Amino acid sequence: MNELITIKNLSKTFNKVEAVKDVSFKIKKGEFLGIQGHSGSGKSTLLGLLAGLEKANSGKITYNGSDLTNMNEDELALFRRENVGVVFQSFNLIPTLNIIENIALPLFPLNISKNEMIERARKIAKDVGLSHRLTHYANELSGGEQQRVAIARALINNPKVLFADEPTGNLDSKTGKKIIELLKELNREKELTVVMVTHDNEIAKNSDRIIEMKDGGVIR
């Protein structure tokens, strides 16, 4: 497998807290990577840096050779749109939009007809097993269904990498397993690279490789 992301001596400090400290590793194309570590060890911060949502203080992140850390805001926004999908622990759905609209949300700023938006959202909804719920509102769905909507929304622009921060953290273990199965299926069948933060050992076992963080550093 070839390399997709190279992280070199990456650091991020908030005021005086060194949230991510001199971290270096590589992520391969098509890999399912788990990131583990205690609360406060820097997992979410690292994910935010890799997804281009936060700026590093020092170090380098390259995707297929192009340097994320040198990009300005506009370049970053374009980069994120073309490469990255993010799923958060809390689903972050818009309650006043129905499912299909929530999934299509990242397409709103693009120059795409409403019909095409709906068509694309419908297709992704099918991929994540949501076809029967398209006109429901977010608060009418179970936790597992809401997480599926969040995953569909993250996939709508056909990203190369999906970053998931505790995607099963708000779900019971049975529903959590189903979400993991979905992520694994997407990883296998669409060759989507998945980077997943979890502090659940059982969930982490689904990864091809696990990186463990402690006090901002990678210890394993």
Ligand X SMILES: Nc1ncnc2c1ncn2[C@@H]1O[C@H](COP(=O)(O)OP(=O)(O)OP(=O)(O)O)[C@@H](O)[C@H]1O
Please choose, out of 40-48, 77-85, 117-125, 155-163, the segment that lies near ligand X by the rule CB under 6 A.
Answer: 40-48
Residue 160 binding partner per list Mg ion, ligand X, none, with a CB distance cut-off of 5 to 8 Å that depends on partner kind: none
| Residue showing tokens 């997804």 | 51
Among 45, 168, 187, 198, binds ligand X (CB under 6 A): 45
Site map (CB under 6 A) of ligand X, residues 143-182, x = contact: ----------------------------------------
Instruction: Tell me the two tokens of residue 162.
Output: 């999906």
Does the protein bind ligand X through residue 40 (CB under 6 A)? Answer: yes
* 23 touching ligand X, by CB under 6 A: no
Q: Which residue is nearest to Mg ion (CB)?
A: 44
Task: List b or e across 184-199, with b for residues whose CB sees 16 or more CB atoms inside 10 angstroms.
Answer: eebbeeeebbbbbbbe
Cβ-proximal residues to 216 (8 Å cutoff; 6+ apart), any chain: 11, 18, 19, 20, 21, 23, 41, 42, 45
Question: Does 44 help bind Mg ion (rule: CB under 5 A)?
Answer: yes
Which CA distances in Å does 40 have to 18, 151, 215?
10, 25, 7
Q: Which is nearer to ligand X, 145 or 165 (CB)?
A: 165
